[in-house]
Amino acid sequence: MTRPKKTAATPAANLMWGGRFEQGPAEAMERINASIDFDKRLYAQDIAASQAHCKMLAAQGIVSEADSAAILGGLDSILREIEAGDFPFRVEFEDIHMNVEARLGELIGAAAGRLHTARSRNDQVVTDVRLWVRDAIDGLDGQLRDLQAALIVQAEAQAGTVMPGFTHLQAAQPVTLGHHLLAYVEMLGRDRGRLTDARKRLNECPLGSAALAGTSFPIDRDMTAKALGFDRPSANSMDSVSDRDFAMEFLSAGAVIAIHLSRLAEELVLWCAAGFSYVRLSDAFSTGSSIMPQKRNPDAAELVRGKAGRVIGALNTMLVMMKGLPMAFCKDMQEDKEPLFDAAETLSICLGASTGMIRDMTPDADAMRAATAAGFLTATDLADWLVRVLGLAFRDAHHATGAIVRRAEALGCGLADLPLAEMQAVEARITEDIFEVLSVEASVRSRTSLGGTAPDRVRAAAAAARERFL
């Protein structure tokens, strides 16, 4: 849509810039410069920071109590308007900060102009974004915890359910489904740790840094920091307004979360496939086909897998945007918000879907047990027996076991069904006791080392995970 050309007489063209500019912006400049369409979601953080700043200005005698009361009342009214959907967002005011300030002027008059004393949009915006990222971290941490809880519940229920364990996507050794699911609990625990670390580092308050050099007004930055829940004011005004490390760190942690969710989603896709049929997703997280009535597609898992690219892309966007910027604030930094908002929303959606899929999925223990018949999964148990009972060096035992596997493969049977004579043709000292370790159930029971797949270990690990994470 083509907008009317701006002129010097256009209302509000230079409302915020005073007398420095005689003409309003070109249409193209207005379009590239405005961010209100996306940064309006910062409204709660912007109003909270403005209220803290106003109270500090009054406490320091920089604005009068009467003006402070008018400003605070006006900000409360604006908050109610926005939450009710009645706020008149206007593109000519560029962003949420100017929109709030302009509306404040309409509501309370000249006193509104005192709110911006001793601050700049530079420290205002980065304060808002830090507050928003902090809130996003808290929300995502809760969702990660919910997913861990769902995994732990399933792990406890499936602590003894035997399934093939894979390396290189090739059947390797028998494990339990409970053990497999607890692996993701650990991954998500590290994700939560990264978010916690990022939150600690971002929790410094830039407000009062002004444009880049601080301010000559006698402000109390400790007061505003405390009011907004920050641990301390930031130490250097130039760094304060130009720092986006916290955003990059949040997106970096988010990208790792997305990768972990994608890996879990990929396994759900595989486990639902006809070649596996290890689990069945509920109707709530499956879709059908527009042409093939028999289809049951794990679309929720596929979408989680696909959306990982958006979060990784958001991190790349932020890194590239910041890579060549000098001190201090540059308008490029306006581009930090869309990737932040999109990544946080995408992660939230994916975590909700992942938790739902895990809670609702129905494992098929018989299908998983049947799948362990292929691939000679207890070969390592045979080699360990040769070491433990016959005293062979592991490399010699490994070689002998490989030869025995070839004989079983040639006969078309599993190791547990291979005649003893065939094994003795490779290693004469093998006795019938070998068959005690060749069942998949015996294999998983034997893996009692810390972190192992033995059912009792899995139950203990699930209980420990509850204590650590929930």
Active-site residues, by number, are 168, 289
364 within 8 A of 277, measured Cβ to Cβ:
yes
Q: Chain-centre distance of CA 435, in angstroms? A: 47
CA distances from 139 to 44, 73, 133, 146, 411 (A): 15, 29, 10, 11, 57
295 within 8 A of 289, measured Cβ to Cβ:
yes
3-state secondary structure of 378: coil
297 within 8 A of 289, measured Cβ to Cβ:
yes
Q: How far apart are CA 58 and CA 66, in angstroms?
A: 9
261 within 8 A of 308, measured Cβ to Cβ:
yes
What's the burial of 51, exposed, middle or buried (CB within 10 Å: 0-12/13-18/19+)?
buried
DSSP β-bridge partners for residue 166: 171
Q: How far apart are CA 231 and CA 234, in angstroms?
A: 9
Single-letter amino acid code for the residue at 47: I
Place of tokens 């109707």: 283
Nearest to 260 by CA among 163, 361, 358, 176: 358
289 within 8 A of 368, measured Cβ to Cβ:
no
Q: How far apart are CA 272 and CA 98, in angstroms?
A: 51
